[in-house]
Structure 1
Amino acid sequence: MPRPDPLSYLPLYLVTDTALCAPRTVPDVVAAAVAGGVTCVQVRDKHAGGSALLDLLAAVAAAVGGRVPVLIDDRVDVYLAAREQGVRVDGVHVGQSDLPADVARRIIGPDAVVGLSAATAEEFARAHALPPGTVDYLGVGAVHATATKPDHPAPLGVDGFAALVRDVRLPCVAIGGISRADVGPLRRAGAAGVAVVSAICASADPRSAAQELLGARNS
């Protein structure tokens, strides 16, 4: 199957956090969030080994049941292992210090999604210099400081985000400490969507949290 149009899955993009989901399981939180309107799920757990991450990815994919794309953070090897086992996983998201996006694309093929983090004009320029079709979307941030990714770049704010994405050709999803109040301003600033962690994973009601975030986008 050809890879999906990014504009269809970027509006409300959930990045998982195992610790914030506890004592609930990540798949349970993901299932509730997708029921509430989440349009894409990225499985991220920097502390999990390869085997545990593969198991987590498979469990999340089963919980999602093909309703929205499921991506894996960083780990092209885990993506390949999951596909080998018949797990429905749609692609990978790589950062600036991970496997280069063009290498990831060659490994995983033309039908998978490849997302790339970018936070500076130089990183945007390098992304645009890649061959067409290498990257599907850019994850841009941090918009605000966030404890879920302590090594994030200096926060951009909504105005900084708007300045970075003004002339970008790739769809951009904003990430980093995003709350419901940010959703409308970021959409008006040019975001194709917002990526959230705490706003859903730390919520007592992930389904309602997702509904409120999506409602803020559509209001």
Structure 2
Amino acid sequence: MRRRSFPYLLYLVLSEADCLEKNYLHVAEQAIIGGVDIIQLREKDLTAKEYIAKAQRLKEITDRYAIPLIINDNLEVAKKIGAFGIHVGNNDVPPTHIRKEWKSCQSLGYSIEFIEQLQSKETEAADCLGISPVFHTPTKKDTVTTWGIEGIAALRKLTDKPLIAIGGMNAANAEAALKAGADCIAVVSAICAAADPQKAAYELKNILLRNL
């Protein structure tokens, strides 16, 4: 078995909108209790001030449970709240810039949308790679490549960096993604839209643990 360099199995990506009628802080806490290992806050339409306020409230919860908090695509917010790390896409702040501007960043994630990115200095600067999306999902509309399980396997052969499978991931396909070479499964709707986020996280986590 390949040595795991990424200690997180179940990765929750959430925004207030993703949680539908539920409070995003409640969803996050219930997901942590259920087994989520790491959380990313993704808010695209807030001012920096609003994003910081929302992230600080979430960080109070993640800190209480010693869960790393990742900020999506906002270096100012990530630095201001002392987040564990940041995740960016191909059209966001470049990882090389983040390395220069935020020396204390503990986890720098970078989304891989096409295979040529693997040869870039931006990928080299990243700690982990988001395979985005594995399957089509309504939460991400500006996609370049839909990788599928076969795409995970192909990328696994080309890089030793930890791979985070995201996009349409759920209890039905999590096992296949791990077997193809993903180190971690990232979910949005599978937990955020669930009637019982704690139960959804628990069931997902147990699927992943059975397939280590």
Match of 2:27 in 1: 29
1:108 counterpart (102, 106, 115): 102
Deviation at 1:17, TM superposition (A): 2.5
Match of 1:86 in 2: none
Deviation at 1:110, TM superposition (A): 4.3
Please give the root-mean-square deviation of Cα atoms over the aligned residues, in Å.
1.6
8 A contact 1:36–1:208 mirrored in 2: yes
Deviation at 1:196, TM superposition (A): 0.5
**2:130 alignment partner, SS class:** strand
Matched, 1:98 2:92: yes
**Could you report, residue by residue, the CA deviation over 1:189-209 in whole angstroms, capped at 9, with x for unpaired residues?**
000011100101101111111
**Could you report, residue by residue, the CA deviation over 1:65-105 in whole angstroms, capped at 9, with x for unpaired residues?**
2521101000001112223xxxxx20111111111101111
Match of 2:46 in 1: 48
* Stretches of structure 1 lacking an aligned partner (at least 5 in a row): 84-88
Return 200-209 or 61-70, whichever deviates more.
61-70
Q: Which amino acid aligns with 2:75?
A: V
Match of 1:164 in 2: 155
Deviation at 1:165, TM superposition (A): 2.1
Q: Which amino acid aligns with 1:173?
A: I
2:186 counterpart (195, 198, 201): 195
Deviation at 1:218, TM superposition (A): 1.8
Return 64-73 or 191-200, whichever deviates more.
64-73
Calculate the TM-score normalised by the size of structure 1: 0.89
Match of 1:138 in 2: 129
Q: Which amino acid aligns with 1:93?
A: H
Q: How many residues of Structure 1 are paired with residues of Structure 2 in the alignment?
A: 206
Percent of aligned pairs with the same amino acid:
32
Find runs of 4+ consecutive structure 1 residues off by over 4 angstroms. Answer: none
Calculate the TM-score normalised by the size of structure 2: 0.91
Aligned pairs (5 A) from 1:63-74: 63-64=61-62, 65-74=64-73
Deviation at 1:168, TM superposition (A): 0.8
Deviation at 1:146, TM superposition (A): 0.5
Matches of 1:126 and 1:165 in 2, distance apart? 16
Deviation at 1:144, TM superposition (A): 0.5
Matches of 2:156 and 2:115 in 1, distance apart? 9
8 A contact 1:141–1:161 mirrored in 2: no
